[in-house]
Structure 1
């Protein structure tokens, strides 16, 4: 199977909207440290480090696990505020990633 076929299969599998998949491809995940993991990945990216993609993958697993915990808490009474906190935290982490990449892209464009 080619890389493209394998990637297409992964995207197709993970496009499911009624179940949460937990990738086991990278170590890490859990609830914390969410923002420190993002920061380490960014610093590695800025230093052109070889661990950039794996660090982002571990951060992504941590974001996923925050969302997974929120989904679990949805089933419990009285956990609405914690569910919201976890979802805000995950969404804000994703937004921070996008903002950081925009800063890095703009910085690279100005160097050329």
Structure 2
């Protein structure tokens, strides 16, 4: 998991940018699963924002932009049953999934 080895108590206000490139002909299925993931995740404590965006020139390129209170909230999110289940289901439709974590400086 991307959070392993990071001291969760030391960093507050986390932005996550997760790109997802969906395999050809699987966009409707992937969007359905992402919709379920967003609906459940925005209810979580520590989640300030959890949104899915679609690239204008290539609809199979999706980007999740998430904002979390701190790394602990993000870690809790990655341990929820809906996250684990839906990410596992999404993996069959994705070609790649780079995830970047950012902390606020100013």
Is the helix fraction higher in 1 or 2?
Answer: 1
**Looking at both structures, which has the greater relative contact order when contacts are Cα pairs under 8 Å and sequence separation is at least 6?**
2
TM-score, normalised by the number of residues in structure 1:
0.29
Q: Which structure has the bigger radius of gyration? A: 1
Q: TM-score, normalised by structure 2?
A: 0.30
Higher strand residue share:
2
